[in-house]
Structure 1
Amino acid sequence: MNSSGQSIASPLVRGVLAAVITLGTAVALTVIPALAAQVAGTRSSATALDAILIGLNVLVLGHGGGITLSTGVIDGTVTLTPLGLMALLMLVCAIAMRRVGHVLELVDVETGLRPRALGDAGSALGSYTVVYAIGVGVLAALGRSGDASPMIVPAVISGALVALVGGLTGVLWSLARRPTATHPGVRVLDLLPMPFDAVARAVLLAMTGLVGVGALAATGQLLFGIRSAGALFDELGPGIVGGIVLVLLQLALLPLLMVWALVILLGGTVTMGTGTAYSLAGVESGVMPALPMLAALPQPGEAPGWAVLLMALPLIPLVLGAVRLVRDTRHLQRRDRVIAWVAYPLVTTVAVLLLAGLATGGIGDGRLLHLGPRMGTLLLPLLLLTVGATAAVLAIMATPLIPWVRASVASLRERVETAEQKERAEKGATAEQDSVQTQGATADAETGEDVETVGDTGTVEAEETVEVAETGASTDEAPEQPVEIPEDEVSRPADR
């Protein structure tokens, strides 16, 4: 009986203790900077109690809740969530529940999940979420004052969501084990059934890349306008401690700018007050709050025509996620592959829309009533990018397109080589025929010259023969003349 009670109470108690410790850490993260700002603010009339109340109000905003202000400067509801603070609070929750998971020893090195591991983890996570949500509601009630009134019900709901998401992440984190020489490692996503583990890996890869693209774009813009931001910071003159608090505030708001930059790159429009619009088509800006990081934003005007090409930046992680999905599901059956192919763009689209929704809010009832992405302008281009990237990757990697293209290229290359060989053969035959004809013509020419030489010789000989004949004929035709002998030559021998 005692053992059973201890086994039931242990996860519940550990979840409650983890929630209390997490709440204390969260209060310290917001109240201590507020107290530091109050001490450093020499021109401020706020007391330490006011600083604590401000810290509690910021804590409610960090969980995604809302507060109602009536300060005269800002009147109305503030619902803009500092995503940096929310991410930090989720990290604290994850670390706390990871420790609980390790203490409960949910995973055995040799056998894997121990018996009742999931039940103990669920009990600890449930008690953690309930206590944490109630604690956030209590802190919201304690943070009420004449100028600010946190909304309790939204604070409880948002606190429960932060505790649930962060705590579940911590529990899954505690299940992971690194591989050793004797035991294989345990991956958290491998615990999901197929093909959803492949979808989770692909979506995680795509979302990480998209957040990285937004961070890169926001950081680049801040660096580009750092002179304007520095000038406004010097004009405010917050001092050392006040400057540190101002920097921490901007760091808490920096993830908002990252998400807004991502929305713009995805083809959506971001509003930073009434009459303002930031998109790839251009900037319509107005009077902005005196925050140094906002001074680094682009100036009003139309964007160049090539700005639309920037949509290729978020397309890269979407393609990489689709490639990872196709490779991880290649060995599965067709039904599972189709489920994964359909789930990937839908889950990615929903995740981006949730992230953009968290980055949407308002400050008061004035010009800053609407801040963040216009969801209507984001949905269509986001669907086109996610579905288009997935379809393109599937057309290339999951269909016979690549083998067909390779076969077509090989066939075309073979035909070209055959045609070239045939052409070379024809050229060789033509060249050989021309060579033979040339040699024949040369031989005929040489034979003609010999004949002509012989003919000329015969002609000369014939002419000489004719001349001799003519000479003989002329000799025969001439009459013989009598030879006269002198008388002295006839009678001279007698004298001797």
Structure 2
Amino acid sequence: MTSLLSAPDRPAVTASDLRHRRPLTLVAALGGVAAAGTLLTVCLALGVTGWFLADAGTHGQPRDALRVGALAWLMAHGSGVVVAGVTVTAVPLLLTLAAGWLVWRLGHTVGDLVSGHGPDSDQISDGERDWTVPSATLLFAVGYAAVTSLTLALAGTPATAPSGPRALGWSLLLALLVGGPAIAVGSGRAAIWAAVVPAHLRAAAATCGAIVRTFLLVSLVALLAALALDLGTAANVVSGLHLSAGETSVYALVSALLLPNATVFAGSYLLGPGFAVGTQTLVSPTIVLTGPLPAFPLLAALPDSGPTPAWTVWLVALPALVAAYAAARAQRRRPTLRWDRGALRGCVGGVSAGVVIALLAGVAGGAVGPGRMQVVGPVATEVMVHAVTSFGIGGLVGGLLMTWWQRRSRA
């Protein structure tokens, strides 16, 4: 008789459920390998392409071009490299940004594929532990670090001497600080965890992001404007090198890889402390002291050495105005009628943005050549002092002004 009893209803397992329950270990590890290997493959292809463009492959071997591409990928992860006995530690930030973007995209995909693992949202809200995101993040980082270790073993030589600890450290930071949040967002856990974060802290984080993005955009515009005003000098620099069409293309690619670095330099200039282009040099709104410079097109944007015009001193007010505008725009999307919250969002967001800009200034510079060119870039501590002050005050003013406007509109 028991065989005649109807079985209890069970939810059917659909194809969509299976898609979100892929093997966590395999998916997360392969995601890290793919995130590192995709950009590495692009760098290897660019290395071979540049080799053919430079001399049509008449000098060297394809493996030398592949090694150049692999070393460029390692430099994007802070490894540095030795070229003809000269240590180069500058990081091509455009490649680093591309690596971060790939880590985010593939981390988001990994999070979506393993989102069915672990407890559901109701169980997480009840306090049940969920190790899905930490486990996937750790395995993602292991896969990324494995590709970095293999690249170091195959491309590194005693002559080039890339730093293994620095490359592995940068790889782990990318995988943990960018890949981890991406996995959390893709798996839906970030939305659950964000629900317990106070709304004014989320608003302050949004303000921080708005200030950083707006200020970097203004810095890029200032850099391009300075370069356009002295475009003839940049053209003369390139023509003076007597490069072929292929070599000019490679030279332009190298310049593009360093464009984000130059943008951070321009931001340091606008903030006030400026930056160095060699030992005992300084480029700032109040003083410009430079010496002999290498033939590089982006250096045409530098002002002439000597006394600066009176109007350049007023450029230091621009970061505070940018912060006020960005903070007001951010609060417009998250309105509040309380003065304290408007002030807190703007001030905390501005101070946090100052710390972020200082971190970028710390990684944008480094050694780029022999002798005096071993010191190039802004001083991160000085940038942080100026950025925290300017962005903090500007964010505070912008938050209060938008609060006043929203209270007035509501009334």
Of residues 15, 21, 32, the one that matches 1:19 is 32
SS for the counterpart of 1:68 is strand
2:135 is aligned with 1:127: no
Cα displacement (A) at 1:42 = 2.5
Of residues 331, 344, 348, the one that matches 2:349 is 344
SS for the counterpart of 1:275 is coil
Taking the aligned partners of 1:106 and 1:320, their CA distance within structure 2 comes to 42
2:171 is aligned with 1:159: yes
- The equivalent residue for 2:374 is 369
Taking the aligned partners of 1:378 and 1:196, their CA distance within structure 2 comes to 25
Of residues 63, 74, 79, the one that matches 2:77 is 63
The structure with higher relative contact order (CA 8 Å, sep 6+) is 2
- AA partner of residue 49 (structure 1): R
2:302 is aligned with 1:323: no
Cα displacement (A) at 1:324 = 5.1
Of residues 44, 48, 51, the one that matches 1:35 is 48
Taking the aligned partners of 1:392 and 1:146, their CA distance within structure 2 comes to 54
1:41-82 CA deviation, whole Å, 9 max, x = no partner? 32973322222222221111101222234x15xx2x321111
- AA partner of residue 23 (structure 2): S
- The equivalent residue for 1:143 is 155
Structure 2 counterparts to residues 65-464 of structure 1, below 5 A: 65-69=79-83, 71-72=84-85, 75=86, 77-105=87-115, 119-171=131-183, 174=186, 192-323=197-328, 328=334, 330=336, 340=345, 343-364=348-369, 366-393=371-398
Taking the aligned partners of 1:200 and 1:124, their CA distance within structure 2 comes to 25
Q: How many residues align?
A: 381
Q: 1:289 to 1:20 in 2, by over 3 A?
A: same
Q: 1:105 to 1:380 in 2, by over 3 A?
A: closer
Larger Rg: 1
Structure 1: stretches of 5+ with no match in the other structure: 177-185, 404-496
1:431-467 CA deviation, whole Å, 9 max, x = no partner? xxxxxxxxxxxxxxxxxxxxxxxxxxxxxxxxxxxxx
SS for the counterpart of 2:383 is helix
Q: 1:285 to 1:34 in 2, by over 3 A?
A: same
| Contact 2:362-2:379 within 8 A present in 1 as well | no
2:86 is aligned with 1:50: no
Which range is displaced more, 304-313 or 115-124? 115-124
SS for the counterpart of 1:148 is coil
Taking the aligned partners of 1:195 and 1:379, their CA distance within structure 2 comes to 24
Q: 1:288 to 1:9 in 2, by over 3 A?
A: same
Cα displacement (A) at 1:142 = 1.9
Q: 1:232 to 1:124 in 2, by over 3 A?
A: same
SS for the counterpart of 1:293 is helix
Cα displacement (A) at 1:205 = 0.7
1:339-377 CA deviation, whole Å, 9 max, x = no partner? 646532331221111111111211355111111102344
Cα displacement (A) at 1:301 = 2.3
| Contact 1:98-1:174 within 8 A present in 2 as well | yes
1:135-175 CA deviation, whole Å, 9 max, x = no partner? 21331232222431111111100111122233135335536
Taking the aligned partners of 1:92 and 1:22, their CA distance within structure 2 comes to 6
Q: 1:195 to 1:81 in 2, by over 3 A?
A: same
Structure 1 length as normaliser, TM-score?
A: 0.68
Structure 2: stretches of 5+ with no match in the other structure: 1-12, 14-18
